[in-house]
């Protein structure tokens, strides 16, 4: 959600005629969907805030506003309760702030949904000697199992999948790589609380070979012959492990085509982003079109 | 994050020897990562809560607990401020609750990241007469542009991408479909606030043909010859629109292979989920192995 203009509502002092009391409206910025965004940057007494919010709500109703957003930095946690009492509810939260929202019209709200997925990567890095880059972890479900696994990690907020895969391999093993393609992906639900996971298993080409393992998370890291890797009982288990092995083998021996990233721009802006599509299509002579 | 056991800490009344005051520890459940989860189901005075939280923190430190989670239903918004004052911060929020978190050890916290992505679908539905199912929308960026577009939508919490695509097509147009494959996907950042978007452009095969458009969101819906669809200036724009058209055409005319869903199970449980991989690989005679 971007902000279309900076014409914030003027702060209006409504002086009570016979007294001292004044109620300032909250400082708000219009968004491009007929709503307003209030970002509480300064501390405020919770009672003062509630009065201002009430006066502002009355004003926004008159103006026909729709979605109302209040971004509350965690330092102003005292303002959560008054906002909720005035009808706001939670939209999303990050470590340092809580976003509350309210929908004024009588109609069904068309507010954007919250984020629902975490994105992870698994990295299949194989060298010219058919050795796979594998690790053992100090924590997590593989800890103490003796299983040599592919480096995995979580894509950070705002990070491209292809760059997140390169970063994770570098962090865990010290190996530089270039991204080749997404071999497969898998969606799971209720992976942490109610949220879902998207795991992208990616192939990367190593550009360096000397392993420097990360101390905190990684117990051990090495290059392992692919036959030895796939012979581990864990990787012969039905379901995802076996599928991953089969597709990695199909990639190196049978020309399996995954999805390769190509830079593109979004439809309504010039923001750059990556799209991922069948790599064979990209390599066909006829597709000089992309 | 699942709960490993139900052996909640007993509520311990610590009677102050010479007085009336007693401080009950908060009711907590151990998680499988050495931490505890507190779910505040009943209303509580914020001062009483703060005392109990302090006493509990002292106890959990003694026990060597690591990650502490407090799930606060929105009715108990009065408890946000005291939790923050005792060192908790926000992890995530849904409309009806806020999850706060705290990390007790001196080490770097290894708490799971919050969800970072919203997942959307675009649906390429084409019938045997080479007509594409297209819509015009009542709201959003296409409103009033006259552009005929593919049905799109947001995958709901806990919903599989392939089933979300079928649902959106049905909701917007009344057309029943079966899912064929993901043709391409695209990742964008800062799509709403700091969050990212993953858009999966999918092909579906129509199973019914009489359009019943959804009233609220859809201004119009129809079957349009593919040449007429691709001739629209919007779909000839460089970047994503042109790429989508090229890949849809490659799919129907050149045997482009996208990623098809197959059911699988996760590595550490028997939860079913879908993985998506190159559909040609699935159709090869040699791949009776999957």
Contact A289 B116 (CB under 8 A): no
Closest CA to A186 of A156, A217, A152: A152
Cα separation values, B108 from A136, A221, B28, Å: 20, 22, 23
| Separation CA A67–CA A30 (nearest Å) | 10
| Separation CA B159–CA B85 (nearest Å) | 37
Chain A: nearest CA to B15, how far in angstroms? 30
Give the Cβ contact number of residue A36 at 10 Å. 26
Give the rounded distance of the alpha carbon of A222 from its chain centre. Answer: 30
A198 interfaces chain B, CB cutoff of 8 Å? yes
pLDDT at B16 over 50: no
- What percent of chain B shows pLDDT beyond 90? 70
Which helix (H) or strand (E) segment holds residue B206: the answer is: strand B195-206
pLDDT (tens digit, 9 = 90+) per residue, A46-66? 999 999 999 999 999 999 999
Closest CA to B273 of B263, B287, B286: B263
Q: Exposed (0-12), middle (13-18) or buried (19+): which is B285, by Cβ within 10 Å?
A: exposed
Q: What is the pLDDT of residue B173?
A: 98
Q: What is the pLDDT of residue A290?
A: 54
Residue A166 makes CB contacts below 8 A (sequence gap 6+) with A176, A177, A178, A179, A204
pLDDT: is A290 or B24 the higher one?
B24
Residues of B in contact with A256 (CB under 8 A): 278, 281
ipTM: 0.84
A3 interfaces chain B, CB cutoff of 8 Å? no
For B8-15, which contacts have Cβ atoms below 8 Å and span 24 or more sequence positions?
Answer: B9/B36, B9/B59, B12/B59, B14/B55
Contact B94 A108 (CB under 8 A): no
pLDDT (tens digit, 9 = 90+) per residue, B238-277? 888 999 999 999 999 999 999 999 998 766 666 679 999 9
Strands B272-278 and A177-192, by their bridges, are: antiparallel
**Contacting B residues, span 141-160, partner chain A, CB-CB under 8 Å:** 141, 154-158, 160
Residue spans of beta strands (DSSP E) within A104-176:
117-125, 131-137, 152-154
Q: What is the pLDDT of residue B157?
A: 86
Strand order in the sheet with B89-94: B29-30, B36-39, B67-73, B97-103, B89-94
Q: Are A178 and A213 in contact (CB under 8 A)?
A: no
The model's pTM is 0.85
Point out the residues of chain A with pLDDT beneath 50.
1-20
Q: What is the pLDDT of residue B5?
A: 38
Which helix (H) or strand (E) segment holds residue B93: the answer is: strand B89-94
């Amino acid at each position: 959600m971007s902000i279309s203009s900076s014409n914030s509502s003027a702060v209006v002092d409504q002086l009570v005629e016979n007294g001292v009391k004044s109620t300032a409206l909250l400082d708000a910025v219009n968004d491009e969907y007929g709503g307003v965004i209030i970002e509480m940057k300064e501390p405020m007494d919770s009672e003062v805030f509630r009065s201002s919010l009430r006066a502002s709500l009355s004003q926004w109703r008159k103006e026909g506003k729709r979605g109302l957003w209040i971004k509350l930095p965690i330092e102003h946690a005292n303002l959560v309760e008054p906002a909720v009492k005035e009808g706001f509810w939670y939209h999303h939260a990050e470590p340092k702030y809580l976003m509350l929202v309210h929908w004024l019209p009588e109609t069904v709200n068309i507010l954007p949904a919250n984020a629902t997925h975490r994105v992870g990567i698994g990295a299949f890095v194989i060298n010219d000697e058919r050795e796979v880059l594998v690790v053992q972890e100090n924590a997590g479900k593989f800890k103490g199992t003796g299983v040599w696994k592919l480096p995995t990690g979580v894509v950070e907020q705002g990070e491209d999948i292809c760059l997140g895969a390169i970063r994770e391999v570098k962090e865990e093993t010290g190996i530089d790589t270039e991204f080749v393609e997404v071999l497969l992906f898998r969606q799971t639900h209720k992976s942490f609380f109610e949220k879902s996971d998207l795991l992208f298993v990616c192939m990367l080409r190593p550009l360096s070979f000397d392993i420097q393992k990360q101390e905190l998370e990684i117990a051990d890291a090495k290059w392992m012959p692919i036959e030895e890797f796939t012979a581990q009982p864990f990787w012969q288990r039905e379901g995802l492990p076996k599928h991953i092995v089969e597709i990695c083998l199909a990639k190196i021996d049978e020309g399996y085509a995954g999805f390769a990233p190509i830079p593109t721009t979004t439809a309504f802006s010039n923001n750059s982003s990556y799209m991922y599509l069948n790599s064979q299509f990209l390599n066909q002579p006829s597709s000089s079109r992309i």
